[in-house]
């Protein structure tokens, strides 16, 4: 199985490179706790002809979210914070209301982790939306003078889109979580994530900042070949500032601000799959992999719910990927995709430097299909 899977995945990667859908990638596949596939291909920096390596460091964008989620849940286990306590206990200014009513709904950590708070992302909204008028950052652009607290204060002025738990929208909720953790611990978010997640697990590549030369160069898809991202690139409605990851004055975004390599992320996701090392209790991990979205509420795609850290397959037939019910997955707009299938003991991390093919293009569909076809044939 391993040799046939390796051959098929090699083909998929090479085809994506040849068709100029990807510039470079790192793909890791673990099954039953064993690394059965590892490949770095293409360019880390196409213009300088620097090859991609297995330990290349990427801007993680939303792959940041499960790491920050894990830190929050460890603090829950310590009894320092509750999933159901109003976040105004730590952020008293954070009281967003509705545009047509003076009511201030209670927002909790649970609402933020599951994207049921009523918040949104600016890139999901029209250019004339209140998020844009207020200058709210999505955590991907570089605003030198903007602090995390100031961004949260701006967000608190924007009206909610629905009452908490009565809707679902991918949002800046994890940035709010980051701000809440800072107030709770009275420390910067990077220190909290280091102490609660990256240092205990030995994730040495995962930080909120890196030297420019240590990072993979990002690109974005066009009708021809991918183009190198500029210092401020607007693509798909998202404002990308690649230099953000190299600027220490950039506020730490709990939803998109980290960097890291695929090997460290695979180790992290394997810990979540197995529950080993006592990192989190089995009860907490099971809650992460529980769908918290009412079936009547739609998420981003049919057949998916949402847990703590990522979306969950709730209807495998509708999803049609071969993934088991309960599989957790998500991606990152810089070109990433990961998933954890606990029933089949499969963990996959794919980091690319090409938006958006590496996140939700044919490449991700093809390698997922190949993995399940080959493992089913065992």
Paired sense of beta strands 328-332 and 336-341, if any: antiparallel
Q: Which of 114, 103, 58, 151 is nearest to 290 (CA)?
A: 114
Cα separation, 308 vs 68, whole angstroms: 10
- Asked if residue 276 lies in contact with residue 267, where contact means CB atoms within 8 angstroms, the answer is no
Domains, the chain, in order of start with CATH, read: 2-63+206-222+258-376 (3.40.710.10), 69-193 (3.40.710.10)
The list of the chain residues with pLDDT below 50 reads none
End-to-end Cα separation, the chain, in angstroms = 6
Partnered with residue 240 across adjacent β-strands are: 233
Q: Dump pLDDT digits (tens) for 337-367.
A: 999 999 999 999 999 999 999 999 999 999 9
Main-chain dihedrals φ then ψ at residue 46, nearest 5 degrees:
-65, -40
Tokens of 249: 């004055």
Query: Which residue from 341, 319, 293, 256 is spatially nearest to 114, judged by alpha carbons?
Result: 293
* Residues assigned a catalytic role: 62
Q: In angstroms, rounded to a whole number, what is the distance separating the alpha carbons of residues 152 and 32?
A: 42
pLDDT of 72 reads 99
Q: Which residue has the tokens 């920050």?
A: 68
Three-state DSSP class for residue 92:
coil
Q: What is the pTM of this model?
A: 0.98
Sign of CA dihedral 87, 90, 92, 94: negative
Classify residue 80 by burial, with Cβ atoms within 10 Å: 0-12, 13-18, 19+.
exposed
The three-state secondary structure class of 339 is strand
Report the pLDDT value the prediction gives residue 102, as an integer from 0 to 100.
82
From the CB of residue 39, how many other CB atoms can be counted at a distance below 10 Å? 19
Give which of 178, 144, 138, 140 is closest to 249, Cα–Cα.
Answer: 144
Q: What is the model's pLDDT at position 289?
A: 99
Taking CA 35 as the corner, what is the angle to CA 355 and CA 365, rounded to the nearest 5 degrees? 35
pLDDT at position 378: 62
């Amino acid at each position: 199985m391993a040799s046939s899977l390796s051959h098929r995945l090699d083909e998929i990667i090479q085809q994506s490179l040849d068709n100029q859908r990807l510039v470079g990638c790192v793909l890791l596949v673990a099954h039953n706790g064993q690394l059965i596939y590892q490949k770095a291909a293409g360019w880390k920096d196409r213009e300088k002809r620097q090859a991609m390596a297995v330990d290349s460091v990427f801007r993680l964008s939303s792959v940041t979210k499960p790491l920050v989620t894990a830190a929050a849940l460890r603090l829950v286990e310590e009894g320092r914070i509750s999933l159901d306590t109003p976040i105004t206990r730590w952020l008293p200014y954070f009281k967003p209301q509705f545009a047509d009513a003076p009511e201030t709904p209670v927002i909790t950590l649970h609402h933020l982790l599951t994207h049921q708070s009523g918040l949104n992302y600016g890139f999901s909204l029209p250019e004339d939306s209140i998020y844009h008028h207020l200058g709210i950052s999505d955590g991907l652009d570089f605003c030198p003078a903007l602090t995390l607290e100031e961004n949260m204060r701006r967000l608190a002025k924007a009206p909610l889109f629905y009452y908490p738990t009565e809707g679902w929208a991918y949002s800046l909720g994890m940035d709010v979580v980051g701000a809440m953790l800072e107030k709770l611990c009275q420390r910067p978010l990077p220190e909290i994530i280091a102490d609660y997640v990256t240092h205990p697990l030995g994730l040495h590549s995962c930080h909120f900042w890196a030297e420019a030369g240590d990072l993979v160069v990002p690109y974005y898809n066009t009708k021809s070949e991918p183009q190198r991202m500029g210092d401020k690139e607007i693509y798909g409605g998202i404002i990308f500032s690649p230099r953000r990851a190299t600027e220490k004055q950039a506020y730490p975004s709990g939803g998109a601000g980290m960097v890291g390599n695929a090997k460290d992320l695979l180790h992290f996701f394997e810990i979540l799959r197995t529950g080993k090392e006592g990192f989190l209790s089995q009860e907490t991990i099971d809650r992460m992999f529980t769908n918290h979205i009412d079936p009547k509420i739609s998420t981003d795609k049919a057949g998916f719910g949402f847990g703590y850290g990522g979306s969950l397959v709730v209807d495998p037939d509708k999803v049609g990927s071969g993934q088991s019910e309960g599989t957790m997955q998500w991606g990152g707009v810089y070109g990433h995709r990961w998933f954890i299938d606990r029933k089949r003991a499969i963990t996959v991390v794919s980091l690319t430097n090409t938006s958006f093919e590496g996140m939700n293009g044919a490449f991700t569909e093809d390698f997922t299909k190949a993995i399940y076809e080959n493992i089913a044939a065992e």
